């Protein structure tokens, strides 16, 4: 794993080890999930779905993550790749390494991120343009 990302994870795991810094429903795997979201947002993938051009960090996490947020945001902004495919590979590797740390019940958010990133990876593999998603109830179209 990238040294900067390891440092980011260390900072926030130490911060959230203090129960006073934890929010309701906090899980240690949240840290890896939100760092993954920050990486995803930083890379601004062109083949991301319109509805997933960025992933919001939860208010609970942002309000509890401490003064380190700005420094961590700068560290993430300094991670650069030659192209989107390299960034995508980096993010997929990050997610897989993060998932290895936790049990299945702890992986809900990381699994969601993994699903979206892998679906996007398929668009890169097949070199297809982003398709719109129709969120209308199919029963109402009859």
Q: In this predicted model, what pLDDT tens digit does every residue of 5-53 receive, in sequence order?
A: 999 999 999 999 999 999 999 999 999 999 999 999 999 999 888 888 8
pLDDT tier, 129 (very low <50, low <70, confident <90, very high otherwise): confident
Mean pLDDT for 51-64 is 90
> Which residue has 């993010």 as its token pair?
91
Three-state SS at 95: helix
Q: What is the pTM of this model?
A: 0.88
CB under 8 Å to 39, separation ≥6 — which residues?
A: 5, 76, 79, 90, 91, 94
């Amino acid at each position: 794993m990238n040294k900067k990302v390891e440092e980011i994870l260390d900072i926030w795991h130490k911060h959230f080890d203090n129960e006073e810094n934890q929010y309701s429903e906090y899980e240690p795997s949240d840290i890896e999930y939100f760092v993954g979201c920050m990486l995803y947002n930083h890379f601004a993938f062109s083949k991301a779905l319109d509805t997933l051009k960025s992933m919001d960090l939860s208010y609970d996490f942002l309000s509890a993550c401490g003064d380190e947020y700005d420094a961590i945001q700068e560290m993430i902004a300094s991670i650069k790749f030659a192209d989107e495919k390299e960034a995508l590979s980096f993010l997929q590797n990050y997610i897989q390494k993060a998932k290895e740390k936790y049990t299945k019940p702890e992986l809900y958010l990381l699994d969601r991120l993994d699903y979206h990133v892998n679906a996007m990876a398929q668009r890169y593999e097949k070199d297809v343009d982003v398709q719109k998603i129709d969120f209308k109830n199919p029963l109402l179209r009859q």
